[in-house]
């Protein structure tokens, strides 16, 4: 009898802890919405995954939100970003089931950006110098409050700058770079995801500058792809360097990394096109839309759930527009014991 009473008391305590945690969440959310609804909702730009998280002192209880945030880019057929669209212009589906849009933002807000560039032996000093010149155009066009991380990679990635707001410091680092070694491209992008995820801004992006020739990573492509889908980080790939070998898959690698994240892949063939590429990326980041919804068909199965965003504008206009966003998210349980 005594053991049954103890078990009953423990269950009551556990329920009280859970109720208190839920009340705290409600208070925090209400306070955030009253002060700034858009910023409060958009602060967890990491899919349906880790935010917010409340854990008890025994590290036994983990509470996750089922909020899904999607960064959406809309361009014309020439690749120019289109701004000014309203919430009513979009429709979003989760595994082919249409969802009501809970919140919407088109604000020009700063971005946490990781610039990941290849310094392996397949690159050249001239290519790196041209990329540096084009990157200056990107910094000039980007939001003045953007924060930058800088990662170079050859046989291994290394962090050169960690979340600075000085664009000139980024450019100065390129002066001391000389190509050598193998190419740990997947490892470098994976690390870039981690660094921007630590950034202060909800909007997060990576600019990958490489020829796409991977040959030295511990991280596999499938693991990298999942990490991109979980994080919500948008990746822009800029393919540079020497002409690819006959059986090279570098172009395909760069295309798939960009596509999985909702970003875009570029292959500028000359200095002028490279300047245009970096300017286009900067403008896209400033004209992105943030869309959030609570999945009505949510199942905590840990599987990939596909996202589809489309436009509700007249058909004649929608035919001239291209919509990009990440492929999906991995559904995690709202409440897990461990």
Find all residues with CB under 8 Å of 219, minimum gap 6, and list them.
186, 187, 190
pTM exceeds cut of 0.85? no
At 144-202, the pLDDT tens digits run 999 999 999 999 999 999 999 999 999 998 877 788 899 999 999 999 999 999 999 99
Question: What confidence tens digit (pLDDT) does each residue in 65-99 have?
Answer: 578 999 999 999 999 999 999 999 999 999 999 99
Model pLDDT, residue 245: 66
Is the pLDDT score of 261 beyond 90? yes
Tokens for 28, please give them.
């925090």
pLDDT at 20: 41
State residue 121's pLDDT score.
87
pLDDT in tens, 231-241: 999 999 999 87
Distance in angstroms (rounded) separating the CA atoms of residues 69 and 101: 10
- The structural domains of the chain, with segments of one domain joined by +, span 2-106+288-337, 112-285
| CA contacts within 13 A on the Cβ side of 23 | 6
Q: What is the pLDDT of residue 334?
A: 54
d(CA 92, CA 89): 10
Q: Band of the pLDDT at 244, cuts 50, 70, 90? A: low
Question: Would you state the structure tokens that stand for residue 240, as one six-digit string?
Answer: 């540079």
User: Mean of the per-residue pLDDT values for the chain?
Assistant: 81
40 vs 66, more confident:
66
Can you tell me the mean pLDDT for 314-333? 90
Contact criterion met (CB below 8 Å) for 195 and 158: no
Report residue 36: phi and psi, to 5°: -165, 95
The position carrying tokens 């999607």 is 70
Residue 141 class from Cβ within 10 Å (0-12 exposed, 13-18 middle, 19+ buried)? middle
* Mean pLDDT, residues 107-126 taken together: 91
User: Which whole number is the average pLDDT over 100-129?
Assistant: 91
State the number of CA atoms in the 13 A half-sphere of 148 facing the CB: 23
What lies within 8 Å, CB to CB, of 315 at 6+ separation is none
pLDDT of residue 30: 41
In terms of average pLDDT, the best of 25-34, 62-71, 121-130, 253-262 is 253-262
The predicted structure's pLDDT at residue 66: 75
Residue 50, CA distances (Å) to 24, 71, 159, 290, 329 in order: 17, 17, 25, 18, 12
* pLDDT band, very low/low/confident/very high, at 56 (cuts 50, 70, 90): very low
pLDDT value of position 132: 87
Quote the pLDDT of residue 333: 65
Which fold, 112-285? Rossmann fold (3.40.50)
| Least reliable range by pLDDT among 15-29, 150-164, 289-303 | 15-29
Distances (CA, A) of 48 to 182, 191, 230: 36, 21, 8
Q: What percent of the chain has pLDDT over 70?
A: 78
Q: How high is the pLDDT of residue 279?
A: 94
Give the model's pLDDT for residue 64.
45
Angle at the Cα of 268 from the Cα atoms of 267 and 269, rounded to 5 degrees: 110
pLDDT at 299: 81
* Residue 250, pLDDT score: 87
* Rounded average pLDDT over 5-20: 44
- Over the Cα atoms of the chain, what is R_g? 22
The residue among 35 and 260 whose pLDDT is bigger is 260
Q: What is the arithmetic mean of pLDDT over 294-319?
A: 90
- Give me the pLDDT at residue 14, please: 46
Q: What is the pLDDT of residue 144?
A: 94
Answer for the pair 282, 205: CB distance below 8 angstroms, yes or no. Answer: no
Q: What is the distance between the alpha carbons of residues 111 and 92, in angstroms, rounded to a whole number?
A: 24
Q: Is the pLDDT of residue 27 over 80?
A: no
């Amino acid at each position: 009898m005594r053991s049954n009473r103890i078990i009953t008391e423990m269950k009551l305590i556990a329920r009280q802890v859970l109720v208190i945690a839920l009340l705290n969440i409600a208070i925090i959310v209400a306070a955030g919405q009253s002060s700034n609804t858009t910023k409060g909702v958009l602060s967890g730009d990491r899919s349906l995954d880790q935010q917010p998280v409340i854990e008890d002192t025994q590290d036994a209880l983990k509470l996750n939100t089922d909020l899904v945030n999607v960064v959406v880019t809309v361009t014309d057929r020439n690749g120019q970003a289109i701004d000014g669209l309203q919430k009513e212009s979009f429709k979003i589906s989760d595994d082919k089931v249409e969802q009501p849009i809970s919140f919407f933002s088109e604000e020009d807000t700063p971005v946490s950006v990781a610039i990941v560039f290849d310094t392996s032996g397949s690159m050249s000093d001239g290519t790196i110098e041209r990329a540096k010149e084009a990157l200056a155009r990107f910094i000039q066009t980007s939001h003045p409050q953007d924060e930058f991380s800088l990662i170079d990679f050859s046989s291994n990635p290394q962090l050169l700058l960690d979340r600075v707001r000085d664009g000139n410091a980024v450019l100065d680092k390129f002066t001391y770079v000389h190509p050598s070694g193998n190419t740990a491209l997947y490892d470098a992008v994976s690390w870039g995801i981690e660094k921007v995820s630590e950034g202060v801004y909800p909007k997060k992006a990576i600019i990958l500058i490489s020829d796409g020739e991977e040959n030295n990573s511990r991280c596999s492509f499938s693991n990298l792809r999942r990490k991109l889908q979980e994080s919500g980080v948008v990746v822009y790939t800029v393919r540079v360097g020497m002409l690819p070998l006959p059986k090279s898959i570098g172009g395909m690698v760069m295309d798939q990394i960009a596509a999985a994240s909702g970003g875009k892949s570029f292959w500028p063939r000359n200095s002028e096109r490279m300047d245009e590429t970096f300017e286009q990326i900067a403008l896209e980041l400033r004209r992105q839309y943030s869309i959030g919804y609570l999945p009505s068909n949510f199942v905590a199965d840990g599987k990939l759930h596909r996202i589809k965003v489309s436009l509700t504008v007249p058909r004649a206009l929608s035919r001239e527009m291209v919509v990009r966003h990440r492929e999906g998210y991995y559904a995690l349980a709202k409440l897990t014991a461990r």
